[in-house]
Structure 1
Amino acid sequence: MDSILHATAGNPAPKNHFAGFLEGRGGVKVRYAVFRCRQPEAKGTVVLLQGRNECIEKYFETIEDLTTRGLWVATFDWRGQGGSDRLLTDSRAGHLLRFADYEADLSLFLEQVVLPDARLPFFIVAHSTGALVALSQAPLMENRIERMVLSSPFVALAGQSMSQGRIAVIARLAALSGLGRYTFRRAASPLGFDGNVLTSDARRFARNAGILAAHPELAVGWPTARWLDEVLRAMGRVTRQEHLTRIRIPTLLLCPTADALVPRRAVGALARIFRAGRLIEIDGARHELFQEADRYRAQALAAIEAFIPGSDDEGTSLGA
């Protein structure tokens, strides 16, 4: 096992991979890995985009599932989290200077790692914040990405003590007044399984907690005001009709109906005006579909398997 990725008890790294660091915008080091399938001929490559406060190690199980199905997987940690460079002296702060930095890092990853080193055709599977970045960049990726699957796309914010509109105003004012690097909440001990809103699966929750216990340098705390400001403004932009009309990549939206972080109604509203999108709801699942109990997770994986890779005829029916 190389020192770039970290296997832990109960979370072995998929074999047959290579990993390294990409120089992202502004010289920020971005950690990446590419996992090959066992089959001699791959069906293509999934570009796996994580959510906030996630890391490559958290997706070892899902990567294994995808490579078993004959797909390569190429993934990276967003700047400011996981094994990529942190952006503040306080390495636990979930910070971001510009949302465009996320987009630039994705573009560089595609150009410098995926295009030269992975196998065609290329697909995106993205979760939460990763899905938001994919939606934002989709009009520019039409000639590179065949299909996208967006799990719990972060297009609105729920589960907070104040409204999204009020949070947006406070975050904007903080960012403009030089307070963007501060968080709205004090650091707190991680919640136990009983208090979590991410997954109903105790085993996977414990496994993910074990990753961070063994490698606390991979963890990130609350997002900063600047992170919130940049992400909330991106939400407003990508959910407009004029932006969605420019997306021609056939897209599958996976919406867990018990998601306490992204409102179900917001994903449904997006699907209604998204010509290239098709909505599948997974009843009773929480926010992190790929970390959920088998009865929910299996539905997500089956939907991906049916959609990627897909036929041209199916693509036409989805508005491609």
Structure 2
Amino acid sequence: MIRPLVETSSNPIPSGTRVDSLNLRDGKELRYTITPASAQPAQGTVIILHGRNECIEKYFETVRDVANRGFTVATFDWRGQGASSRLLRNAAKGYVKSFDDYAVDFEQLFEHVLLPDCRGPFYILAHSTGALAALLAAPALSNRIRRMVLIAPLLDINGSRARKTIARVGANTLRYAGLGRAYMLGGPHQIRPFDFNEVTSDAARYLRNCEILEKAPELAIGGPTASWIVAAAKAIKKISRPEFIETIRIPMLMVAAGADSVVSTPAIERYALQLRNSTLLTIDGAKHEILQEKDFYREQFFAAFDAFIPGTGSETE
């Protein structure tokens, strides 16, 4: 049964949005939404790919912003989070066997829902974990996606070399010991006070997102498991190989957050330089979730988005 969308007084459902689900080949189910463009001329379709522990409801504001630019907007909850199928008996744990599963799920949604139901050309707007999944899928989508905008992509975690080594070794040790489903970082989901959050400096948007999970706590997941950490590391290693980078043909705008304490901004900047056709923007002072940030930072992002999307159409046609 499809989980209805959750709205609050500060976070209404975008006008015209329909919610549905897609049954995947392995029996899992993805909840997705399609929102019609609210302005003319019609520009095509933007597909929003969320980060870890995010859900469709968190992006209502961004969906309206993009729809107001003349785009149909499609988005969905990744497997294992939001209102899509959970993967463990303890549904609160952040788990995935392989990030390739994310890429395959997206390709299935594209084939069975987006191509028949949405108007091209198609663009991707992806954040953090979603941006890593978009990079994994990019070679297979080179003839379908015109341009991609990646926000704070997960290419490395922020922190010292020692911290990264401890995380990598610890996660692999737990996984090889048969404890891959154990929490690696954090535990069950808790709503943190604004002053202790690492993702945004905008109190109103942060509290708005907390209200969603207070009303529907089942949409949240807790910390990542050891298997999730190992899967993320393998995905990063895969997309960082020179031979893989050579297969990425889709023009990209990569947006880094200057004050990001979650993922590594230098890693994003290094990766952008290796791509065949990419533009890099670092928004000074912004924290990890730029789309949930203060207007000052969001306006810089959307100025870059408007300059890059829809583009000329000559890149992949």
* Band of TM-score, shorter chain: over 0.9
TM-score under structure 2 length normalisation: 0.95
CA distance in 1, matches of 2:194, 2:159: 17
Map of 1:289 onto structure 2 = 290
User: Within 5 Å, which residues of 2 pair with 1:73-92?
Assistant: 73-92=73-92
* C-alpha contact 2:191 2:210 (8 A) present in aligned 1: no
Q: Quote the offset at 1:207 in angstroms.
A: 0.1
Q: Quote the offset at 1:232 in angstroms.
A: 1.0
Does residue 1:180 correspond to 2:184, yes or no? no
Deviates more, 1:271-280 or 1:285-294: 271-280
* C-alpha contact 2:95 2:227 (8 A) present in aligned 1: yes
**Structure 2: which amino acid aligns with 1:199?**
T
* C-alpha contact 1:25 1:104 (8 A) present in aligned 2: no
CA distance in 1, matches of 2:213, 2:57: 10
User: Within 5 Å, which residues of 2 pair with 1:1-320?
Assistant: 4-39=4-39, 41-159=41-159, 162-184=162-184, 185-187=186-188, 189-312=190-313, 315=315
Q: Aligned pair in 2 of structure 1 residues 162, 13: CA closer, same or farther (>3 Å)?
A: farther
* C-alpha contact 1:241 1:274 (8 A) present in aligned 2: no
**Structure 2: which amino acid aligns with 1:240?**
R
Root-mean-square deviation over aligned CA pairs: 1.8
3-state SS, counterpart of residue 236 of structure 1: helix
| Structure 1 runs not aligned, ≥5 long | none
Q: Quote the offset at 1:162 in angstroms.
A: 4.9
CA distance in 1, matches of 2:111, 2:160: 38
Q: Aligned pair in 2 of structure 1 residues 25, 235: CA closer, same or farther (>3 Å)?
A: farther
* C-alpha contact 1:24 1:104 (8 A) present in aligned 2: no
Q: Quote the offset at 1:263 in angstroms.
A: 1.2
* C-alpha contact 1:131 1:153 (8 A) present in aligned 2: yes
How many pairs were matched up? Answer: 315
* C-alpha contact 2:100 2:136 (8 A) present in aligned 1: no
* C-alpha contact 2:100 2:133 (8 A) present in aligned 1: no
Q: Quote the offset at 1:216 in angstroms.
A: 0.4
TM-score under structure 1 length normalisation: 0.94
**Structure 1: which amino acid aligns with 2:305?**
I
3-state SS, counterpart of residue 15 of structure 2: coil
CA distance in 2, matches of 1:90, 1:3: 19
CA distance in 1, matches of 2:280, 2:266: 12
Q: Quote the offset at 1:261 in angstroms.
A: 0.8
* C-alpha contact 2:182 2:225 (8 A) present in aligned 1: yes
Q: Quote the offset at 1:242 in angstroms.
A: 1.7
* C-alpha contact 1:99 1:230 (8 A) present in aligned 2: yes
Q: Quote the offset at 1:169 in angstroms.
A: 2.3
Deviates more, 1:197-206 or 1:169-178: 169-178
CA distance in 1, matches of 2:175, 2:32: 30
Deviates more, 1:33-42 or 1:21-30: 33-42
CA distance in 2, matches of 1:23, 1:159: 39
* C-alpha contact 2:188 2:221 (8 A) present in aligned 1: no
CA distance in 1, matches of 2:15, 2:221: 27
Q: Aligned pair in 2 of structure 1 residues 221, 3: CA closer, same or farther (>3 Å)?
A: closer
Q: Aligned pair in 2 of structure 1 residues 199, 248: CA closer, same or farther (>3 Å)?
A: same
* C-alpha contact 1:25 1:101 (8 A) present in aligned 2: no
**Structure 2: which amino acid aligns with 1:77?**
D
Which 4+ runs in 1 deviate beyond 3 A? 159-162, 185-189
3-state SS, counterpart of residue 286 of structure 1: coil
Deviates more, 1:147-156 or 1:230-239: 230-239
Deviates more, 1:90-99 or 1:140-149: 90-99
Identity of aligned residues (%): 44
Deviates more, 1:38-47 or 1:245-254: 38-47
* C-alpha contact 2:21 2:31 (8 A) present in aligned 1: yes
Q: Aligned pair in 2 of structure 1 residues 3, 52: CA closer, same or farther (>3 Å)?
A: closer
* C-alpha contact 2:79 2:102 (8 A) present in aligned 1: yes
Q: Quote the offset at 1:188 in angstroms.
A: 6.4
Deviates more, 1:277-286 or 1:15-24: 15-24
| Structure 2 runs not aligned, ≥5 long | none
